[in-house]
Amino acid sequence: MRLSVPLLLWLWRQTLPVTIVAAVAVAGLALLIPARLQPQFLELWGALMVLVMVVHSVALVAFQGRPFSGPAGYLYSRGFSRDRLWVHHWLASAAAVLAVWLAAGLVVWTPLRGWTQWALGNPFYPGAAGLDAGFPLRLLPFYVPLLAVLHYSWIRSAQPTRGRWIGPILLAWVLCLLPLALAVEAPDEFPLLGVAACALGVAAVLLVVLSWRLHRNMEVGP
Amino acid sequence: MSTLAIQTEALSRLYGRQAALDNLDLRVQAGRIVALLGPNGAGKTTLLRLLAGMLAPTAGGAQVLGDDSRRLSPANACRIGVMIEGHEPPHWARLQWLAALQASAARGFDSGLAERLLGEHHLDGRARFGRLSKGQRRWVLGALALASHSDVLLLDEPADGLDPASRRALYGHLRDQVNDLQSAVLVATHIIDDIERVADEVAVLHRGRLLLHADLEDLREQVREVDVPATAPLPAQPLEVLASGVRGDRRSVWIRGGETVEARIADQLGGSTAVHPFNLERLFLALTSDAAAADGRPASPNEKEEVAQCA
């Protein structure tokens, strides 16, 4: 399967408004959160980050996956195979997520956050800035179950037999598990949550495979 | 020997309980342009979307280039060119980007031809699709479809919004391509005059059913419209009545009668019967009005109006 740069750019361009807003929001949070950016210190800030990730993912897929729109009808009738389109959808989602977290990374991996927190009077900074370095990378894996269920949801909603509710139900399930799984970052405090995180990972892989299969039968166009 | 490019068998599609297509059997050979005619809501766009693999049939099936339309192989998916009304790229897309996208999907895409066709309308590759007029947009989509050098072209109102000269030019390019590449083309349209100039066959759909599928040259040779008194009996074998419509005390009857149709009409109806040459638009209106009457439902307001204007 060949990579199509115009196709990837097309799909990525659809998410551009979301990507810009999310990049500003996430970079702003990474800059201004006063707590040290490690799970055991984040507390409510951690919940806020989860919320941002959820909103970002929902918006991302809502912009990308509109099977009954005119542009989707156009794209799906260009002659690309369904599998090729599906792979490019995922690549575009991944690129959009990476763009946002690169923005956060630039704040955390440069002295920007340390100086800002020091200027705001935070006593831990700039000394603690080095300990925050893993923050953007640690949060990236949580996009996988979110995007898996959201991509499954829009693909499922466009099946000839529809099934619109299955996606939202799965999404609710993921949303319940995500904050718990987030705590797996602190295994000493929540030892059983590793199991939940593993279950989530397995479910995400299953959903990705299912959505790949269902994407071949999806109905498209207004 | 000609190759079958499109084949549907008992193809049906329901939207809720409404049948958009009903047991449709249609075959299109390579190297042929088929004009797909039908009033609004006849199922033309649904048929094209089914053939393009964008919709699933409720019953029956369709084959395009030998593949089930729902499971097109990657090798065949890129050999099908599609232009469907309402399926348009986003407004921010630049024309050069659309050409690049098409080129990465269709292996046979001819960038030079695309440039030439866009140049005919003085369209710059940097222009955004959303900034173009309706006619220019149709031209762009038509140019990209033609430049893809597809083996099958599914076109829905390709000339809608184009001025008469551009419509002629578009259909002229289409005819040239079919002659050169032996593509199979299905063109759904309401503008009968234009497509009649280039089509090889005509298929008439009405409320999801195929009323007529015939070679256009055969129809021109073998079909005549005659005016008879409304009370006169309809012609019998070997003449075949395709459609008839009563206006006041006169009846118009469309008769198919082989190569010697006029002699046969004279034999059965008398030499003084008024015989009119074949006219596709009038036959289409008569067929769809007849079908609407047979359904026990009046023709749509558009159909009635068109019949009145044409009569």
Residue by residue, pLDDT tens for chain A (222 residues) are 789 999 999 999 999 999 999 999 888 988 888 888 776 666 677 778 778 888 889 899 888 888 889 999 999 999 999 999 999 999 999 999 999 889 989 998 998 988 898 898 888 888 877 888 887 777 787 788 888 988 988 898 888 876 666 666 666 666 666 665 555 555 555 566 667 677 778 888 898 999 999 999 899 887
pTM of the model: 0.86
For chain B, say whether A16 makes contact (Cβ under 8 Å). Answer: no
Residue B249: pLDDT band with limits 50, 70, 90: confident
Q: What is this model's ipTM?
A: 0.86
The residue to which tokens 């898996």 are assigned: A148
Distance of residue A78 Cα from the nearest chain B Cα, in angstroms: 6
Query: Measured between CB atoms, does A70 come within 8 Å of chain B?
Result: yes
A79–B93 CB contact, under 8 Å: no
For residue A200 the two structure tokens come to: 């989530």
pLDDT on residue B296: 62
Residue B57: closest C-alpha in chain A: A160
Residue A186: the pLDDT is 54
CB distance B224 to B218 below 8 Å: no
Cα B268 from Cα B303, distance rounded (Å): 31
Interface test with B, best of A77, A80, A215, A217 (most B CBs within 10 A): A77
* Average pLDDT for chain B: 86
**For position B310, what pLDDT does the model report?**
35
User: What amino acid occupies position B176?
Assistant: D
Q: Which residue has the higher pLDDT, B307 or B117?
A: B117
Exposed e or buried b per residue across B218-240, where buried means at least 16 C-beta atoms within 10 angstroms of its C-beta: ebeebbbbbebeeeeeebeeebe
pLDDT band at B311 (very low <50, low <70, confident <90, very high): very low
Determine whether the interchain pair A10/B93 forms a contact, defined as Cβ–Cβ distance below 8 Å.
Answer: yes
Edge-to-edge order in the sheet of strand B240-247: B240-247, B250-256, B223-229, B274-276
Q: Phi and psi dihedrals of B122, rounded to 5?
A: 55, 40
B78–A80 C-beta distance less than 8 A: yes
CA-nearest of B146, B154, B150 to B189 is B154
* From B220-224, B272-276, B303-307, the region with the lowest mean pLDDT: B303-307
B254 pLDDT higher than 60: yes
Structure tokens at B234: 């309809």
| pLDDT surpassing 80 at residue B258 | no
Distance from the A59 Cα atom to the nearest Cα atom in chain B, whole angstroms: 18
Structure tokens at B194: 């234009």
- The pLDDT of residue B256: 84
Asked if B97 lies within 8 A of A7 by C-beta distance, the reply is no
Instruction: List the single residue in A7, A13, A77 with the smallest CB-CB distance to B87.
Output: A77
Residue of A nearest to B107 (CA): A79
What the block records as the tokens of B27 is: 């075959």
> What does the pLDDT average to over B270-293?
80
Predicted confidence at residue B279, as pLDDT, reads 87
Q: Is the pLDDT of residue B302 over 50?
A: no
The answer to whether the Cβ–Cβ distance between B101 and A221 falls below 8 Å is no
Distance in angstroms (rounded) separating the CA atoms of residues A84 and B107 = 15
Confidence tier at B230 by pLDDT (50, 70, 90): confident
For residues B89-112, average pLDDT: 92
The answer, for A141 touching chain B at a CB cutoff of 8 Å, is no
Q: How far is B76 from chain A (nearest CA, A)?
A: 8
pLDDT at B246: 79
- pLDDT for the residue numbered A164: 60
Q: Is the CB of residue B102 less than 8 Å from the CB of residue A78? A: yes
Taking CB atoms and an 8 Å cutoff, what residues of chain A touch B77?
79-82
- Please tell me whether residue A2 adopts helix, strand or coil conformation: coil
Residue A159 half-sphere exposure, CB side, CA atoms within 13 Å? Answer: 19
Q: Which of A4, A78, A91 to mutate to test the interface with B (most CBs of B within 10 A)?
A: A78
Say whether residue A8 is in contact with chain B using an 8 A CB cutoff: no
Instruction: Please tell me if residue A14 touches chain B, with a CB cutoff of 8 Å.
Output: yes
Position B300 confidence tier, pLDDT thresholds 50, 70, 90: very low
Residue B69, chain A, CB below 8 Å: the answer is no
Does B102 sit within 8 Å of A160, measured CB to CB? no
B19: β partners: B14
Of A3-12, A87-96, B161-170, B221-230, give the lowest mean pLDDT range: B221-230
Peptide bond between residue B238 and the one before it cis (omega within 30 degrees of 0) = yes
Task: Return the pLDDT at A188.
Answer: 59
- What residues of chain B lie within 8 A of the CB of A222, using their CB? 86-87
Is there a cis peptide before residue B235, judged by omega within 30 degrees of 0?
no
3-state SS record for B203-255:
EEEECCEEEEEEEHHHHHHHEEEEEEECCCCCCCCCCEEEEEEEECCEEEEEE
Judged against a pLDDT cut of 70, whether residue B85 lies above it is answered with yes
- Residue A117 in contact with residue A35, Cβ under 8 Å? no
Q: Do B100 and A79 touch (CB under 8 A)?
A: no
